[in-house]
Structures are given as C-alpha cells and as structure tokens.
C-alpha cells in the first residue's frame, strides 16, 4: 500500500475515534437530561425552613427525691434545697458556735417522697470530723427512720436531730454532714453540709 493509502487509513481511524467520542458525549448529555451541545442546567432546590428546637423534659431518675436542709441554734447558713442523691457543688457551708449543749444546736432535714416507687426504709445522718483530725476520722451516726416493712409514704417528711455531742464542738474543727438512705437499689451517701465550729 502506498503512502496515500496509509494516510487514508489513519484518517478513517481518527474519524472513527472522533465519532465515538461524540457519541459518548451525546449519551452522557442524554442521561443528564440536557442537550448535547450545551451544559446541563439544574433547577434550584426549594428552601426548607429549619425545624424549631424542642427541649426534652427533665426526667427524674428512679430513687430520687427532693429535700431541704437547715441548721438551728447559734448557727449561720441558709436553707438548702437539693435533689437526693445528687451531690451539691459546692457543698453548703454553715458555722456553729462552740459550747452549745443538747438540743441547742442541730439539723433539720425535710424530704419529699414523690410516689410509691421511691421506697426509703432506712434514713440516717452521719457527722464526720474532716479537719484538723482527718487522719483519725471521728464520726457519729444518728438514725432518723428505720422501718423495713413500711417505706416512707409519698409526701413531705421532716426530721430533726441535735448535734451528737457538745464536747466535740471544738473551735476550729470542720464537720461533714451526710445523709444515707436504704432502698432497693442499695445504700447511697450524699453530702448535706460542711460545718465549721467557731469560738
């Protein structure tokens, strides 16, 4: 075959390849829904207004109940309202005068049982010296309620107890008051107050 025949053959090959590419472009344009000779134009998406934020209501965990705590006698500090067994942060602080005896100084705890599902059969408070004798911790417990067969019924219940011993009211000492309840889920300790004894 002469040169003219070879050139003609290459010409057909190139022409065929070009025709194939054009066919591919036409097929792609058809799939995209647009004309083969121009770019595909898409309609803008409709604007959707954002949904309003909905806050979920707070769900009280099983075994929880609200309470108030205060001190009486020559003491300073406000009534604290909390949710048992959450740990208050910070723990409420109180000061009491040394030298008080018997019922002259003590604590008052009112708890509210929300419904029969919250069963409290035992409730006590503990007075623990945390300073300066934290190394040899001294503590005393006061039982407030103890009837295993009769959990506290729904509603408010107020308990009051004196400080364990006036002889332990040494100026400069600090005491942690905690409450413990016995329920089907086990024992739970919750700090109620940090008490400082002043002269």
Backbone φ and ψ for 30, nearest 5 degrees, come out as -65, -40
Q: Which residues, including other chains, have CB under 8 Å from residue 146's CB and lie 6 or more apart?
A: 121, 122, 123, 124
pLDDT digits (tens, 9 = 90+) for 83-131: 998 999 999 999 998 888 777 889 999 999 999 999 899 999 999 888 8
Would you state the pLDDT for residue 65? 94
Burial 11-45 (b: 16+ CB within 10 A, else e): eeeeeeeeeeeeeeeeeebeeeeeeeeeeeeeeee
86 with 188: CB under 8 angstroms? no
Q: How many residues does the chain have?
A: 199
Instruction: Decide if domain 65-198 falls under CATH 3.20.80.10.
Output: no
Closest by CA position to 161, among listed 113, 127, 122, 129: 127
Would you state the pLDDT for residue 153? 95
66 with 126: CB under 8 angstroms? no
Using alpha carbons, list the distances in angstroms from residue 97 to 40, 77, 94, 106, 178: 87, 12, 10, 11, 20
Would you state the pLDDT for residue 16? 45
Q: How far apart are CA 169 and CA 102, in angstroms?
A: 12
- Within the chain, all domains assigned CATH 2.70.50.30 are found at 65-198
Q: How far apart are CA 82 and CA 184, in angstroms?
A: 21
Residue numbers of the chain with a pLDDT score lower than 70? 1-62, 133-138, 166-168, 183-186
Closest by CA position to 74, among listed 102, 107, 100, 92: 100
Would you state the pLDDT for residue 38? 53
């Amino acid at each position: 075959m002469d040169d003219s025949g070879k050139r003609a053959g290459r010409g057909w090959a190139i022409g065929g390849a070009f025709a194939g590419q054009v066919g591919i472009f036409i097929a792609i344009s058809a799939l995209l829904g647009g004309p083969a000779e121009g770019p595909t134009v898409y309609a803008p998406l409709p604007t959707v207004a954002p949904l309003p934020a909905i806050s979920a209501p707070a769900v009280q965990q099983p075994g929880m109940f609200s309470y108030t705590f205060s001190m009486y006698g020559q003491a300073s500090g406000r009534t604290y309202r909390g949710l048992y067994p959450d740990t208050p942060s910070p723990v409420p602080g109180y000061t009491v005068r040394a030298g008080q005896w018997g019922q002259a100084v003590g604590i008052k705890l009112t708890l509210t049982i929300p419904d029969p599902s919250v069963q409290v059969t035992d409730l006590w408070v503990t007075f623990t010296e945390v300073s300066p004798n934290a190394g040899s911790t001294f503590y005393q417990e006061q039982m407030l309620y103890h009837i295993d067969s009769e959990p506290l019924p729904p509603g408010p219940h107020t308990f009051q107890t004196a400080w364990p011993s006036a002889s332990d009211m040494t100026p400069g000492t600090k005491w942690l008051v905690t409450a413990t309840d016995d329920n089907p889920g086990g024992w739970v300790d919750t700090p109620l107050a940090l008490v400082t004894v002043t002269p």
